[in-house]
Structure 1
Amino acid sequence: MTDFTPYDAERSAFTRAALARLVLSDTSVDLAGAAGNLAITRFDDQTGPGGRVSEAAALREAADRLLTRAVIFERERGSSWEQIAHYLGTEPADAREQFTPAVDRWERAFEVPYRLDGTGRKRVPQLPTAAYDPETACRQLDLSVRLRAFFGDEHPVSGALRPDPTADGRLPLRYDLDGRVHRRNLGLFMHLLARFTNADFTTADWDAVTAHSASTEEGVRGTWYTHLVEGSTASLDVRIAQVTHDDDLVAVVVAGATDAGLRLRVDTLFEALGPGA
């Protein structure tokens, strides 16, 4: 196993307490979604006897996971077992005994963020997904909360978790939509972006993308190619680079999608046309 992961740089931008809070947010959104689904009655006749009890039991298990992740977050931000036990209505020793194994697993995962599966080729993260790949989690959670809760804040989840940009003189991180798509899907990706913004994407545009992106490299920011997709509803800067050591993938960053609905569409494109497709 190598001593690095694809998301080391992303994780290093967050404190461990911030990563624990991100995992707590991710679990909260999952639980809220599952609970909301149980409120829907239209499909009851398609659910077998006892089916809704099964779903409710799954929610209870999810709530237990949520509680465990809340405890991990509180420990990361310095809460004592006495303070945690107070809100659990139990003794500090009992709280420590119940949750220490989970806290220990969380801490060990930072030493070994992933293990290889039986084939020796596939990484199996030991950290929860939101902590293993925090940038993707931030993007998805910000979108989800904004769409469900109608927050005016563009970053209702990630906004308070990023480091203070004034601490080392750097500018605040720009929140862009980024991911990877299969090279064979890049043309479709660009055409759909144009459609989403009511822009034209011509053969000449595609020729420019293929020609200028050929000499790019993901790890060398100065080589990235930027293509402007300017439509009547939005103007997007699309930055493109070849993925190092993987000829089948292209790295893409989309900036300028300020509308929550458009951001969701772009994020869906990454999922539909990327490595997991």
Structure 2
Amino acid sequence: MADVELDPDTERYAYSPKALARLVLSYELRELADRAAVGVSTGSDDYAEPGEEVGDALALVHQAQEVLTRAVIFERAKGTSWEAIAEQMEMKRQSAHERYREAEQTWKNALHEPFNPLPPGARPTYEYLRLHEAAYAPIAAGRSLDEWAEEHGKGEHAVTGGLPTLSLLDEMGQLLDGLKYLYRDMYKRPDPVARLRLTERKAALLDRIAIEEGRPEAAVQAEEARALAAQLRAEIEGTA
């Protein structure tokens, strides 16, 4: 899918980091299950290259290691201590922390910066995606995982039905954190497209808060956000 162009969106802000980490874990578990299932059949044994089964088994081990890493990240997103994780892995706390701390930090950074640096003039595609695709597009990932689970007898919404949900105010908090992150470097101009996307989502979210929470001041703030979004869009189109 490296040639599929992505439209940078903000749907992941409607999910908590814990929910996104769980989606990614489910995604990798599905990949492991599907890959393992291929090896169950004996129909192609007579045509396999020497050592091919060993290579396939090794690929499963590598996939299982990815599942383990994603499980650790999910547990950390849940608030699980390194001590508890280390106990399950039958190792010392320091060893578990040293083994997985970089993966955890990479995950946290990617939530705010989903793409690796793009070459001049390049458009964001899966080739440059730093954040796991299930976390970048959680709605599509959840739908796909639900379908897979239902096909395997787990019932409807077996994946998305158990994900933790955010209140409107919690979602707004995440969105504001995302906007704040854009200004983390005082010497660097915030990405105008990212700022536009977040501002547009902020306006839509404020509309919902005004209606669902009965807060008329949020409607005024939504209009202000829309005006800012229009200004940002005009600036972007003027420099295109």
Amino acid corresponding to residue 109 of structure 1 in structure 2: A
Once the two structures are TM-superposed, the CA of residue 111 in structure 1 deviates from its matched residue by 2.3
Alignment of structure 1 residues 238-257 onto 2, 5 Å: none
Amino acid corresponding to residue 161 of structure 1 in structure 2: L
Whole-Å Cα distance in 2 between the matches of residues 50 and 100 of structure 1? Answer: 35
Alignment of structure 1 residues 128-147 onto 2, 5 Å: 128-147=132-151
Does the CA contact (< 8 Å) of 2:115 and 2:124 recur in 1? Answer: no
Does the CA contact (< 8 Å) of 1:13 and 1:162 recur in 2? Answer: no
State the Cα deviation string for residues 33-70 of structure 1 (Å, max 9, x = none). Answer: 11111111101122111111000000000000000000
Once the two structures are TM-superposed, the CA of residue 7 in structure 1 deviates from its matched residue by 2.9
Whole-Å Cα distance in 2 between the matches of residues 90 and 5 of structure 1? Answer: 43
Identical columns (%): 38
CA RMSD after TM alignment: 2.2
Q: TM-score when scaled to structure 1?
A: 0.55
Whole-Å Cα distance in 2 between the matches of residues 89 and 40 of structure 1? Answer: 34
What's 2:58 paired with?
57
Whole-Å Cα distance in 2 between the matches of residues 151 and 35 of structure 1? Answer: 19
Q: Which has the higher contact order (CA 8 A, sep 6+)?
A: 2
Whole-Å Cα distance in 1 between the matches of residues 33 and 21 of structure 2? Answer: 18
State the Cα deviation string for residues 117-172 of structure 1 (Å, max 9, x = none). Answer: 44622432111110011011001000001101x123x10001121516xx459xxx
Does the CA contact (< 8 Å) of 1:116 and 1:122 recur in 2? Answer: no
Once the two structures are TM-superposed, the CA of residue 12 in structure 1 deviates from its matched residue by 1.3
> CA 1:71–1:151 in structure 2 vs 1: closer, same or farther (change >3 Å)?
same
Q: TM-score when scaled to structure 2?
A: 0.63
Amino acid corresponding to residue 41 of structure 2 in structure 1: I
State the Cα deviation string for residues 85-138 of structure 1 (Å, max 9, x = none). Answer: 010000000000000010111011122111354462243211111001101100
> CA 1:68–1:129 in structure 2 vs 1: closer, same or farther (change >3 Å)?
same
More helix by share: 2
Whole-Å Cα distance in 1 between the matches of residues 165 and 105 of structure 2? Answer: 25
What's 1:121 paired with?
123
What's 2:67 paired with?
66
- Whether 2:83 is the aligned partner of 1:82: answer yes
State the Cα deviation string for residues 161-191 of structure 1 (Å, max 9, x = none). Answer: 1516xx459xxxxxxxxxxxxxxxxxxxxxx
Amino acid corresponding to residue 151 of structure 1 in structure 2: K
Alignment of structure 1 residues 1-277 onto 2, 5 Å: 6-8=8-10, 10-118=11-119, 120-123=122-125, 124-148=128-152, 150-152=153-155, 154-161=156-163, 163=165, 167-168=167-168
What's 1:235 paired with?
none
Amino acid corresponding to residue 122 of structure 2 in structure 1: G
Whole-Å Cα distance in 2 between the matches of residues 122 and 14 of structure 1? Answer: 22
What's 1:191 paired with?
none
Whole-Å Cα distance in 1 between the matches of residues 68 and 25 of structure 2? Answer: 9
Q: How many residues align?
A: 163
Whole-Å Cα distance in 2 between the matches of residues 88 and 38 of structure 1? Answer: 27
Whole-Å Cα distance in 1 between the matches of residues 105 and 72 of structure 2? Answer: 12
Whole-Å Cα distance in 2 between the matches of residues 168 and 126 of structure 1? Answer: 27
What's 2:218 paired with?
none
State the Cα deviation string for residues 3-47 of structure 1 (Å, max 9, x = none). Answer: x96331x21111000000000000000001111111111011221
Whole-Å Cα distance in 2 between the matches of residues 121 and 137 of structure 1? Answer: 22
Does the CA contact (< 8 Å) of 1:22 and 1:134 recur in 2? Answer: yes
